[in-house]
Structure 1
Amino acid sequence: MSWTLDNLDLIGSLTLEHLAQSVPPIAAGLVIALPLGWVAHRFRRVRGLVLTVTGLLYTLPSLALLPLLPVVFGISALSAANLMLALTIYAVALLVRSSADGFDSVDDDVRRAAVAMGYGPLRRVFAVELPLAGPVILAGLRVAAVSTISLATVGILIGVTNLGYLFTNGFQRRLVEEILAGVVAVALVALIVDVLLALAGRALMPWARLERARTRGRAA
């Protein structure tokens, strides 16, 4: 514990940098994945193609993707932008399927009722379908958030400083405590973000909690 206590300032600053590199890709991934998920839900002929292509993105090794992105997009290979773009791609890969599943979970009777009440297509998506799909999408978002925070540590391999520094520096100096501090810090950051997302979901989608309670009541 002595090394950890003596380097709390370093761990704190690395944590802030880690969050700054992780949170934007999570948000960007959600913004990109929602319309793709809706397309996969709405147009069955392209559903398989959309889900397969986006799913394959997650299979790309990060050590191959990070050198490739600068060539394609003309950004610096040793920059936070390169890492954040890669993290966004992985977030999209995870979130498209959960977005499609979320829209699939909305009952067709609800859609027909919205149409009968005069809701246009765009208004129906944002006012009816998206809120009801929210719990499923949120579940996928929580998985993507934890994955993104974990994957961000590879940024240290291209010179982007974050909590991954504790892994490489600890390995080079053979300081097991530094490596363990990095593991714990990444896990805590992921846990805190996950809890915050869960709390936000409860606040923004209270109907989901009521529906779960109603389901448990019927089961009992």
Structure 2
Amino acid sequence: MNLLLDAIAWIVDPANWTGPGSIPLRIWEHLWVAALVLVIASAIALPIGMLIGHTGRGKQFAVMTSGGLRALPTLGALTLFGLWLGIGLPAPVIALVILAIPPLLAGAYAGFESVDRRTIDAARAVGMNEPQVVGKVELPLSLPIVVGGIRSASLQIIATAILAAYIADFGLGRPIFEGLRTRDYGEMLGASILVIILALVVDGAFALAQRLAVPAGVRANRTRELRSRPARPRAILGQPINEGNQQ
């Protein structure tokens, strides 16, 4: 309990909200690095995943690549790139990009693969070429799953970006490592709480985006299906009746 109070005291301390190492600056750095990593990883993984989902080829490659990259320890990769590239942001950015690729790749090809083949065949039958099929049919219908992959990747990046402070003075990982060095566990816990809050806020934003990504026609069809469900038989005193059809 005392440790939690120390963490809250560290967060609300006005001295920690101003200056070069202030909490707002660390949060901004954390978000900036996470956004940079997400953009780079998306530029690599999403086109590949969409191509695999569209053509149906290379799925085994995507599964093996995702599994292999998931098994790669991020701290080990960070240390390796740090020894190679030296102190600074390039090493943690590369390590975090490797971490973010699997969920993005999986979300992209799973989303495209989930689109009903009959819908794609119908689009081709009315004269759409392949770019039109991808842009006007597959991408809108698969977007909720694709956004779900981006959502998963963003959470992993935010949670793991504290390792950037391992070899760079950057982000919310800096007060965590600083608190570990000085045995200021209130500072460590306070910074960890901020990371959790940041992750929850970003997750909520992507959850909303995922709901909004569902095409309006799909939402309307789901509503009609719910309203037009057949009545369920229900037994009362041994006699089955249909709900909604009582006289």
Which TM-score applies when normalising by structure 2? 0.78
Identify the residue that residue 122 of structure 2 maps to in structure 1.
113
> Within 2, Cα distance between the matches of 1:211 and 1:70?
52
Partner of 1:154: 163
Give the TM-score, by structure 1 length.
0.87
Q: What is the root-mean-square deviation in Å for CA atoms of aligned residues?
A: 2.4
CA distance in 1, matches of 2:210, 2:41: 18
Match of 2:12 in 1: 5
1:119 partner SS: coil
- The total of aligned residue pairs comes to 217
SS of residue matched to 1:118: coil
* 1:185-196 matched pairs, under 5 angstroms: 185-196=194-205
Name structure 1 gaps, 5 residues minimum: none
- Contact kept in structure 2, 1:54 and 1:96, CA below 8 Å: yes
Shift of 1:33: 1.6
Secondary structure of 2:71's counterpart equals coil
Greater Rg, structure 1 or structure 2?
A: 2
1:57–1:112 CA distance, 2 compared to 1 (3 A): same
Aligned CA distance change for structure 1 residues 173 and 78 (closer, same or farther; 3 Å): same
Shift of 1:176: 2.1
Greater shift after overlay, 27-36 or 183-192? 27-36
Partner residue, 1:81 = 90
Aligned counterpart for 1:59 among listed residues 60, 71, 75 = 71
Return the structure number with greater helix share: 1
Gap change, CA 1:51 and 1:5, over 3 Å in 2: same
Instruction: Determine helix, strand or coil for the equivalent of 2:123.
Output: helix
> Identity over the aligned pairs, expressed in percent?
31
Runs of 5+ in structure 2 lacking a partner?
1-7, 233-247
CA distance in 2, matches of 1:135, 1:11: 33
State the one-letter code of the partner of 1:91.
A
